[in-house]
């Protein structure tokens, strides 16, 4: 039963609402955004990283907890770091 509960939970222990999970070969679900702007702490972490500073372990952990528009902002920022020939 514990294995089933873990598989039905995401990394934060919240219930999964779809079949997608990391490593599963299916298209991830569309992201719905409910807020109009990213959280201030996420914006600060991304600005720091964009300036060339390495985020702390706590900041990296916060990025992994991102949801909604925060996640979208992180992905867009990460894309901006990718070499142009790999996009």
Integer Cα distance of 13 and 2 in angstroms: 12
Residue 23 burial (CB count, 10 A): 5
Give the model confidence (pLDDT) of 46-77 as tens digits. Answer: 999 999 999 999 999 999 989 888 988 999 99
Give the model confidence (pLDDT) of 4-59 as tens digits. Answer: 777 777 777 777 777 777 778 888 777 666 777 889 999 999 999 999 999 999 99
Which residue carries 């900041």 as its tokens?
59
Helices (H), the chain: 2-7, 40-50, 57-64, 68-81
Residue 27 burial (CB count, 10 A): 7
Of the pLDDT bands very low, low, confident and very high (cuts 50, 70, 90), residue 84 is low
């Amino acid at each position: 039963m514990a294995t089933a509960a873990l598989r039905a939970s995401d990394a934060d222990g919240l219930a999964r609402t779809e079949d997608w999970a990391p490593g599963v070969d299916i298209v991830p679900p569309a992201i719905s955004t409910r807020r109009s702007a990213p959280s201030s702490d996420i914006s600060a972490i991304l600005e720091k990283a964009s300036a060339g500073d390495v985020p702390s372990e706590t900041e990296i952990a916060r990025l992994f907890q991102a949801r909604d528009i925060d996640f979208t902002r992180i992905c867009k920022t990460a894309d901006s770091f990718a070499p142009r020939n790999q996009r």
